[in-house]
Chain A
Amino acid sequence: MDFSTSIPIYLQIIEEFKRQIAIGSLRPGDKIPSQRELALELKVNANTVQRAYREMEILGLVETLRGQGTFICQNPRLVEETKTEMLTNLIDEFLQAMNSLGYKEEAVLELLKERCEQHQISTGQEGSNE
């Protein structure tokens, strides 16, 4: 994690947990580090980690069981929901940036399609070179 950015540190911590849930390296029911352990690992003020964990409980990402620790919620739709949310955010950001450059949705779609095709060609070539 890079703490020299303008993104609040507790949000960066939450995003990292979401990312790990989305890619499946954290699964529902998995135990996550204690607040103290994570604070030490990231060398971040324990109050900041506490805030991140509190928010994640509110968001329904994790639950803390008294005396046992903090776990990823046993919600079968959690992975899908987290993925969808991250995806939607990425696309929204991209669309906003394109809109600010003056491109409307139809133009963006067209450009995106073109770009995807080029991407396929270039990655295909890389593959054949190996």
Chain B
Amino acid sequence: MIQGSQALVVRDLRKKYPGTEALKGIDLTLPKGEICGLLGPNGSGKSTLLKCVIGLLQADSGTIEIFGQKPSRHTKAQIAFVPEIDNLYRWMTVQETIDFISTFYEDWEPQRVPDLLDFMRLEPEKRVSSLSKGMRARLKLILTLARTAPLVLLDEPFSGIDPSSRDRIVEGIVREFKSEEQTMIISTHAVGDTEQLFDSVVFLDEGTVNLQGNAEDLRVRYRKSINDLFKEVFA
């Protein structure tokens, strides 16, 4: 099979829930090796789009190609997905959580775990129930970064956490992201001081793509930072 230069191509993707149309024909192309910011307010369709990409949701119509292939069990194994919801078992310790999750993935690299725990300042013997929201967000990130999946989807990794945890997560992403072999999508409803992470951005507004492009090009074209542009688009 020919491997193209695109990590993800979405064409005219539509998804309805009873009473609402979550995705109204999404088109987007994401080149390999980039970090893409999927930006939009709550309810704009970010999570729905990510869930369609990983295959947790079936779209009503439209197409998705992941590294040139239709979503399947095979493409699912190539994606590391961190959902927004808190999916950790509270009664487990940090180490037990890591051991448990690692069994699901063939691309898990156990030798990276001690360094990641250290960097994220998490103690392996602590119980999940005793962790702050920011610490749980850091643990969730470790569960992704210990894998070598070529496509990484982070749904709202900065949502509702303290600034120091956010800084650690930003730093962890910069430190661990390997552009030669990975592509990443990070969704967020608050750009804040995370805009220096993004190669490209997609603005999602009520289920449609409002604006997309290279972040540096957009700064020049609109003479605004991505954060200011975001505030203007969603004012």
Contacts and interface: CB of A to CB of B under 8 A. Distances in A.
B177 A6 contact: no
A42 B197 CA distance: 10
A41 B174 CA distance: 10
Contact of B225 (A5, A45, A50): A5
A8 B216 CA distance: 5
A4 B175 contact: no
B196 interface: yes
Contacts of B34: 47
B193 A45 contact: no
User: Of residues A3, A5, A50, which shows the largest number of chain B Cβ atoms within 10 Å of its Cβ?
Assistant: A3
Contacts of B224: 6
Contact of B196 (A7, A9, A40, A50): A9
A1 B216 CA distance: 16
B195 interface: yes
Contact of B199 (A5, A40, A48): A48
Given A3-B225, A4-B195, A9-B196, A44 B216 contact: no
A38 B171 CA distance: 12
A43 interface: yes
Given A40-B171, A40-B175, A43-B174, A8 B219 contact: yes
Contacts of A8: 216, 219-220
Contact of A46 (B167, B174, B198, B216): B174
B179 A9 contact: no
Contacts of B117: none
Pick from A6, A8, A47 the residue with the most CB of B within 10 Å.
A6
Interface string A18-46: 00000000000000000000011011111
Interface in B50-85: none
Given A4-B225, A47-B34, 18 more contacts: A3-B196, A4-B193, A4-B195, A4-B228, A6-B223, A9-B196, A9-B216, A40-B171, A42-B196, A43-B167, A43-B170, A43-B171, A43-B197, A44-B196, A45-B198, A46-B174, A46-B177, A47-B199
Interface of A: 3-10, 39-40, 42-48, 50-51
